[in-house]
Amino acid sequence: MSKKALLVVAQNGYQPIEYANTRAELEKAGISVSVASPNGGTATASDGSSIETDLSIKDADIDNFDALVIIGGPGARESLSALPELGELIKSAYEKGKIIAAICISPTILAEAGILKGKKATVWSAPGNEFGIEILKQHGAEYTAKSVEVDGNVITANGPAAATDFGKKIAELLA
């Protein structure tokens, strides 16, 4: 039976390269991909393009998936970090030993869900904007500055340039 990954995107402002490249690598590896957003339906990327999602985050059952992947982008921090149902999904996936992955600013959401304590992780940052690094450290993660970091069943990546390698690493851990 093929493995299944749930990609989570912001309703508005997800990063389209991170979404497209990660999804392409998973599908290339034969992994079935479903996409969830806060409300389901149409999700709009930061460049104005859009996709139809398969379900809302509240309707996602982690038992139906082998991996939970959170895509970044400017909307990720604003809309996803405030969702208690996403926090619960992350914790449930972690407790069940699923692969959990986050790219760009989204590793901060994993940190706030409490699953990065004592783990190596990376996150998007820029000179003068180290907000993500601060959040990771506040929640006990060890920031590594790598483009893709793997610690156990948790994979983090720092942005669009890392999306292809991020997708390959998720596929590798699911194999």
- pLDDT per residue as tens digits for the range 1-59: 689 999 999 999 999 999 999 999 999 999 999 999 999 999 999 999 999 999 999 99
pLDDT tens digits, 104-137? 999 999 999 999 999 999 999 989 999 999 999 9
Which is it for strands 42-45 and 50-52: parallel, antiparallel or unpaired?
Answer: antiparallel
What one-character DSSP code corresponds to residue 129?
A: B
Contact 67, 100 (CB under 8 A): yes
Number of neighbouring beta carbons within 10 Å of residue 14: 32
Catalytic residue numbers?
104
Overall pTM surpassing 0.95 (yes/no): yes
